[in-house]
Amino acid sequence: MSEFCTPVKPKAKIEDGEKISIPPSPFLHRLGYGTGVSVMQLVRSPKAGQIRSPWALKMLNKRVKPNKVYTDRLQAEAELLQRMSHPNIVGFRAFGKNKILYLGMEACDLSLGDMIEKKVEENCDPFTVKQMLKVAMDIGKALDYLHTKMQILHGDMKSYNVLVNGDFQICKLCDFGVTLPLDENGIFDKENAKNVLYYGTEAWSAPEVINGGVISNKTDVWSLGLTIWEMMALMPPHSQTDDTLDYTIDSEADESMLQDHVFERYGTRPDVPANIAEQEYAGPLALFWCCTETAPAARPTAQHLAAAAEDMYTVFL
């Protein structure tokens, strides 16, 4: 089987699946966290002399009291993940809701967000052009599958929701807890999603989210453009400082003013980082610029973005 394929088990009822024993949290390695949930690594014991791959378990955070909102959201994500089958989307493994509520998923090596943090800690250079193109290509394909085959918007595209195996052998999209339905034209289908709002993460949000406008499949494309920018800047979008401003904070009023200035940047295209040579990074920059056009109609579809990235990527093969 190709290294780029995610084995998919035969579909079963969501309550079915392998019975697993989950050790206490202190014995689990935390892979990540989100609103009300933690993602932990479960190292499964060998079975019949065979080594079994680890799982990633998304579970309710112990600080959060179990409630119907989180339970329903996790079950909806499990049901969605079980219906999907794509090499660039994290694979479903199990779902349980008896003593412990959990969603079992394929475990990958690291999130792109964690890799960015590690580069900052070790004072490393930005990611290579090849690595940026690989992310754009793989995640573009994942988004195209979501937008066209599943007719849903991911809704929270960012580096922490991109999983990477090895030295960028393959990248996979994860975290489908805030997806939105799309109609046949790729527009947010409000008729089938009453009382459902776009959540996302503000720093990665498109202009139509921040300023009010039509949410569509192009909203995910904007966020993927900012994810490419993250790989250049090694920081979240809009977190860079402005040398023309005084950031000395002496009071709550100063802090509030700084927060307002940062918020004003949301939904805009960040400047190219000063250490990025435009000629060397021409390919990723071209993708970043087209993804972050203010008008959604001017942005490429995920399919066109993936194809363009793949054409550029073949130079490195």
Q: Which of 138, 144, 156, 220 is catalytic?
A: 156
Reported as type and span, the H/E element at residue 79 is helix 68-83
Q: In Å, how far from its chain's centre is CA 225?
A: 12
Q: How far apart are CA 196 and CA 117, in angstroms?
A: 32
List the helix and strand counts (H, then E) for the chain: 8, 10
Place of tokens 């995610």: 6
User: Could you write out the DSSP letters of every residue in 95-152?
Assistant: EEESSSEEEEEE--SEEHHHHHHHHHHTTPPPPPHHHHHHHHHHHHHHHHIIIIII-E
Q: How far apart are CA 42 and CA 29, in angstroms?
A: 8
Check if the beta carbon of residue 181 is closer than 8 Å to that of residue 151: yes
Give, in degrees to the nearest 5, the angle at Cα 38 between 37 and 42: 135
Reported as type and span, the H/E element at residue 39 is strand 37-42
Cα–Cα distances in Å, from 109 out to 56, 106, 305? 10, 10, 25
**Cβ neighbours around 163 below 10 Å, total:** 28
Q: How far apart are CA 191 and CA 306, in angstroms?
A: 30
Instruction: Please state at what angle helix 302-313 crosses helix 129-144, rounded to 10 degrees.
Output: 150
242 is catalytic: no
Active site residues: 156
